Structure formats: structure tokens, C-alpha cells
């Protein structure tokens, strides 16, 4: 039976909500479960690339060249120490994004590029930039699902409505099969009534599913990128690593039911 690849965009236009941490950690957790994983960095800051121990400035071929059509995805993909494959990014993606504005099929270029390598992977996880521009729209267009990491604080969910509007537009004009996997609470302190109230407000206001378990707040997530590894490698038994393992197991179980 042919492999069915699940592509998930991890998106939220608000910065600092653990998008990159979520992509790295879920990728590592799925890899532990013997899944073949490709991570895709479409943030010009290259945070995902850096977090996996790769210096963005040393790269000759990145997702930028792939989107511009001068190279293929397989030319840019590298293997990380955690066992995931990575389609990396660096600051050249900024110029590429500007060039794409006037190009035909700009929102479809990432999907077309990933389609050529999708059979090699069970999962493709895309780390989106903290904007709702061409790069994020391209990631949503290339995905079957979108996961929204959200810091469990009042101000952090004020922009969710804008993201949902963008998802609605992508569904209407480009990718009608795009589904919202849910909101993943990050930097969560379950001891506080405030954090619990924020999650209740998200459910009521936006009618979105909440992915569990929530990801706890811990300094371990900030320490891992300095080593170029995931928290599952640097703090294997930590509660943060275990939370991402449980989310990944839930994703895998959900796919098997389809």
C-alpha cells in the first residue's frame, strides 16, 4: 500500500508561542516512533534550521532556491542529528519572498516542491514565520492540517481570529481540504486559574479543538537549541519532552483511524 504523507503547517502570526519548538519536538517524537519525518523551515530567520544544529549562514542551497525554482527540494534537504530530515532556510528567503510577489503560482510553489519528495516521508511539518504573508499562505496551501501553538495567556489569542480568516481564504481559493488540527497550549502553567480560563475562552470564542496534553513552561526548551538538538535528546525524561511524545502519539493514532 502506498505511503500516505501527512503535511502539517505549524502557524501563528504571533511570535514567541513555541512554533519552532513544537516543530522540532514533534518531529523528534515522531522519529522515535519510527516515522520518516521532514521538517520544513519557511521562516527567513532560520530559527528551525539553527535549532537543529545547522548554521543558516553556511548553507548554499535552501528553501529559497526551491521556491524560486532554481533548485529541487532534494538538493537542499539535510539530515539532522535527531534523525529528521530538514529543508532549511536562511535570510535569503526574505529576498525570495519579495521576488515571489510577481511570480505565477506563488502560493502553490511549496506544495509542488514537496509533492516531489513526499513519498519519502510519513510526516512533513512546516515551521511558518510570524506573519500571514506569502510564505505562510504557501505553507497552508501545501498542508492537509494546521496546528496552532498558543501561549496560554490572555493577549496571546487576540490574533487567532486573523489566522482563522487566512485559513478560511486558503480553503476557499486554494486548498479546500485544509483542516484545523487544533490549538496546542504552550508555556502552560496548569496551577493558575488564568491559564485554564484562556483555554476555555479559546474553545468558546473560536470553537477550536484543544490538543492535549498542554506543553508545560520550562527553561529546558530554551536550552536545547544552543546544543542543536531537540528537548527529547537533551532532557529525555523531562515533562516537556514527555508532553510532546504524548501529542505525537495522539497524532499517529489519529492517522491510523483514518
Does residue 54 lie within any of the structural domains? yes
pLDDT tens column, 151-193: 877 766 777 889 999 999 999 999 999 999 999 999 888 778 8
Q: Which residues form the domain of 236?
A: 6-257
pLDDT tens column, 22-51: 999 999 999 999 999 999 999 999 999 999
Read off the pTM.
0.95
Instruction: Please check the confidence at residue 103 and state whether its pLDDT lies above 60.
Output: yes
* 136 neighbors 166 (Cβ within 8 angstroms): yes
Cα(131)–Cα(177) distance, integer angstroms: 22
Does residue 75 lie within any of the structural domains? yes
Cα(147)–Cα(47) distance, integer angstroms: 18
pLDDT of residue 155: 66
Least confident stretch, 118-122, 123-127, 140-144, 199-203:
199-203
CATH number of 69's domain: 3.40.50.300
Report, as an integer, the average pLDDT of 76-86. 96
Does residue 205 lie within any of the structural domains? yes
C-alpha cell at 245: 511524545
Does residue 98 lie within any of the structural domains? yes
pLDDT of residue 195: 80
C-alpha cell at 83: 534523525
Half-sphere exposure of residue 57: CA atoms within 13 angstroms, side-chain side: 0
Does residue 1 lie within any of the structural domains? no
For 202: left if phi > 0, alpha if psi spans -120 to 50, otherwise beta; the answer is alpha
Does residue 88 lie within any of the structural domains? yes
Instruction: Please check the confidence at residue 101 and state whether its pLDDT lies above 50.
Output: yes
Does residue 145 lie within any of the structural domains? yes
The closest of 29, 32, 16, 83 to 243, measured between CA atoms, is 29
pLDDT tens column, 2-23: 468 999 999 999 888 999 999 9
**Domains held by the chain: number:** 1
pLDDT tens column, 208-231: 899 999 999 888 888 888 888 999
What are the C-alpha distances in Å from 39 to residues 30, 154, 156, 162, 188?
Answer: 11, 30, 25, 25, 24
Does residue 85 lie within any of the structural domains? yes
Amino acid at each position: 500500500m502506498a505511503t500516505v504523507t501527512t503535511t502539517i503547517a505549524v502557524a501563528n502570526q504571533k511570535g514567541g508561542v513555541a512554533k519552532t519548538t513544537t516543530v522540532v519536538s514533534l518531529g523528534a517524537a515522531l522519529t522515535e516512533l519510527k516515522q520518516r519525518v521532514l521538517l520544513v523551515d519557511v521562516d527567513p530567520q532560520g530559527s528551525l534550521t539553527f535549532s537543529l544544529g545547522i548554521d543558516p549562514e553556511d548553507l548554499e542551497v535552501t528553501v529559497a532556491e526551491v521556491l524560486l525554482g532554481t533548485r529541487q527540494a532534494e538538493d537542499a534537504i539535510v539530515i539532522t542529528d535527531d534523525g529528521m530530515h530538514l529543508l532549511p532556510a536562511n535570510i535569503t528567503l526574505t529576498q525570495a519572498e519579495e521576488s515571489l510577489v510577481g511570480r505565477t503560482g506563488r502560493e502553490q510553489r511549496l506544495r509542488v516542491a514537496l509533492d516531489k519528495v513526499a513519498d519519502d516521508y510519513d510526516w512533513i511539518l512546516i515551521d511558518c514565520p510570524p506573519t500571514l504573508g506569502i510564505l505562510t499562505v504557501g505553507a497552508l496551501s501545501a498542508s492537509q492540517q494546521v496546528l496552532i501553538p498558543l501561549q496560554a495567556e490572555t493577549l496571546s489569542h487576540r490574533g487567532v481570529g486573523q489566522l482563522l480568516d487566512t485559513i478560511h481564504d486558503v480553503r476557499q481559493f486554494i486548498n479546500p481540504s485544509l483542516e484545523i488540527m487544533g490549538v496546542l497550549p504552550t508555556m502552560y502553567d496548569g496551577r493558575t486559574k488564568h491559564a485554564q480560563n484562556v483555554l476555555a475562552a479559546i474553545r468558546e470564542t473560536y470553537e477550536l479543538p484543544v490538543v492535549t496534553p498542554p506543553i508545560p513552561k520550562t527553561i529546558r526548551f530554551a536550552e536545547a537549541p544552543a546544543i542543536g538538538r531537540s528537548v527529547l535528546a537533551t532532557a529525555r525524561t523531562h515533562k516537556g519532552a514527555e508532553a510532546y511524545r504524548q501529542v505525537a502519539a495522539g497524532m499517529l493514532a489519529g492517522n491510523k483511524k483514518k
